[in-house]
Amino acid sequence: MSKTNTHEILQSAAFKKLVKNRWNVSLSFTFIMLFVYIGFLLFVAYDKETLKMPIGDSLNLAIVVGLGIILFSWLITGVYVYWANNYYDEAVKEIKKELI
C-alpha cells in the first residue's frame, strides 16, 4: 500500500462517511443506554410510589421496568451487531477493495 493510496482512502468520501456513520450510530446508542439507565436511577430516587403500581395480579411496575432494562440492554447490543454486520462491514469491504 503506497503512501498516496493511504492518503486517498482517508480523504475519500466513502471512508469519511464510514467513520461518521459509525460514530453517529455508536454515540446515539450510547446516549440511549445512558438515558435509560440514568432515567431509571432518577425514577427510583424521586418517585418510589409510582413504581409500586401493580401490573396484573402479582407484578408491579418496578419489577417490569427492572427486568425490562436487562432485556433492553441485551437487545440493543443485538441491534448494533445487526447494523455492524450488515451495513458497516459491507461498507468496509467496498473501501478495502480499493485499498488492495
Which positions touch another protein (CB under 8 A)? 1, 6, 9-10, 15, 18-19, 22-23, 25-27, 29-30, 33-34, 36-38, 40-42, 44-46, 48, 51-52, 56-60, 62-63, 66-67, 69-71, 73-74, 76-78, 80-81, 84-85, 89, 92, 95-96, 99
Q: How far is the CB of 98 from another protein (least distance, A)?
A: 11
Which residue shows C-alpha cell 432515567? Answer: 39
Long-range contacts of range 88-94, CB-CB < 8 Å, 24 or more positions apart? 88/18, 88/21, 88/22, 91/14, 91/17, 91/18, 91/21, 92/18, 94/14
Shorter beta-carbon distance to another protein: residue 13 or 70: 70
